[in-house]
Amino acid sequence: MDVLVIYDSFYGNTLRVAELYQQVFADKGISVEVKHVSKIEPEDVKNKKLLIFGSPTRAFRETPGIRKLLTKKAMPLTNRLVFVFDTRIDPDDTNSAILKRFVKWFGYACDHMEKQLKKRGAHLVSKGIGYHVMSAEGPLKQDVSMKVNQHVAELINHLHS
């Protein structure tokens, strides 16, 4: 199975999650390529069994680079198996009622990426996942590695069923 993780990152947190996916898949004997969104060309995705998109949540959305890629007409996303994740601050850590309300209204990067991928005719293999960071600049919370392990196992099950 060929897997491609396409990510964007500002402080390295989303890159770190992408690398965790690569490591966990590799531990299970599955090859994964990790590429920054700025380096992706249409031919990069053509022969991949699964595309994973990762973005930090910035202003309740995915990054402009990820957004541009997902709307790029030349990018072959129709009928592709996809999965998305984002990195985000947990509103419960901020004690901000306003942030909690904004998240309810506007969502996270995962929500917007899934919507765009569905619009493009891609097939989501599982609901997107958000990984929490301690602050906007990180670091990742301690449970992220364990959660990536669980999510990779779930993705493999979805792909083999």
Please state at what angle helix 109-119 crosses helix 64-71, rounded to 10 degrees. Answer: 10
Hey, where are the domains in the chain? 2-160
CA distance 62 to 67: 6
- Give this prediction's pTM: 0.95
Query: Any idea of the CA torsion for 66, 45, 71, 155, to the nearest 10 degrees?
Result: -70
Q: Tens of pLDDT along the chain (161 residues)?
A: 689 999 999 999 999 999 999 999 999 999 999 999 999 999 999 889 999 999 999 989 999 999 999 999 999 999 999 999 999 998 888 888 888 888 789 999 999 999 999 999 999 999 999 999 998 888 999 999 999 999 999 999 888 87
CA distance 118 to 128: 12
Distance linking the first and last C-alpha atoms of the chain: 14
Domain spanning 2-160, CATH class: alpha beta
69 touches 24 (CB < 8 A): no
